Amino acid sequence: MLHLFDQIQAAVTEIQRRWPERPHVGIILGTGLGALARQIEAAATIEYDEIPHFPRSTVTSHRGQLICGRLSGVPVVAMEGRFHAYEGYPLDQITLPVRVMKALGAELLLVTNAAGGMNPVYTTGDIMLIDDHINLMGLNPLVGVNDDRLGMRFPDMSQPYDAQLIQQALQIARRENFAAHRGVFVAVTGPNLETRAEYRFLRAIGADAVGMSTVPEVIVAVHAGMRVLGVSTITDVCFPDALKPVDVAEIIATANAAEPKLRAIITGVLAAEAKRLARAS
Ligand code: HPA
């Protein structure tokens, strides 16, 4: 098998052949964000199976294409459809697209997901800006020989999520008049949802929301030196003493319904980034 560095280069070469621009931002669209994907002024849409070394998404609620173009005037590369540990992929494959985004030129990663809310003040449909995370996947994408060209052996994780971007996102939510919390996200492997005892445990160790993605991608983005904004949609509430069986179709419907809020945050953050870039040039 090719070395990770060579896999990244091969993917970058194919993407640049189809879209020669340099993205400023990489976006990972979680469950229910198809409408946001449609809002990107796409210059190229590339199926994952046309990109060397990209895994294929096996989840029906996720498509599998890379959308390259502009959103709020900013050049972006967006993943419509992401990969999860529960699909059986190793984490270095799941996170390869983040490495590729960085190698294409992206400095910022916007990552979204659907999550179960454990903080008792959260309700279904709320937004949570990820302030910090706990990796309970029992896996780490950085395990193995470190390639110093990609990042350092022992990356700092004292602040994986950019405080300024969180503030901006909270301001957007206030302006648009919807509830947005700031909280701790815990990542589990899945695919089953948690038992009552597990939700109790996850809440007790300090998590506000739980999901099956995002943390591997964020670890790699931090390793690669990217600024990160992580946004969860609370698709179900998980209070161990009043737990109802979860319906995955309902989770997807809630994620779809909350899409305008996420879109407001993402397009708002990008508009601010466009202004910042204009001032800097
Ligand atoms: N647990 C794990 N992942 C999830 C949940 C949950 O309750 N809700 C949405 N994704």
- Say yes or no: CB of residue 193 within 6 Å of ligand 1: yes
Compute the CA torsion angle 21, 27, 30, 34 (nearest 10 deg).
Answer: -50
User: 67: which residues sit within 8 A by CB, 6+ positions away?
Assistant: 37, 40, 42, 44, 45, 76, 77, 78, 79, 80
Distance from residue 72's CA to the centre of ligand 1 (Å):
30
Q: 154 CB contacts (<8 Å, ≥6 apart)?
A: none
* Cβ 212 under 6 angstroms from ligand 1: yes
Whose alpha carbon is nearest atom 9 of ligand 1?
A: 115
Q: Which domain holds residue 190?
A: 4-280
**pLDDT at site 62:** 53
Q: Model-level pTM greater than 0.85? A: yes
Identify the weakest region by mean pLDDT among 66-70, 235-239, 267-271: 235-239
Q: What is the mean pLDDT of the chain?
A: 93
pLDDT in tens, 4-41: 999 999 999 999 999 999 999 999 998 777 788 889 99
- Please indicate whether residue 115, judged by its CB atom, sits closer than 6 Å to ligand 1: yes
Domain total of the chain: 1
- For ligand 1, say whether the CB of 114 is within 6 Å of any of its atoms: yes
Q: Beta strands of 50-208 (E only): which ranges? A: 65-71, 74-80, 108-117, 127-135, 180-187
Of ligand 1's listed atoms, the one at least distance from the Cα of 113 is 10
201-236, pLDDT tens digit by residue?
Answer: 999 999 999 999 999 999 999 999 999 999 999 999
CATH code where residue 81 lies: 3.40.50.1580
Cα 28 to ligand 1 centre (Å):
18
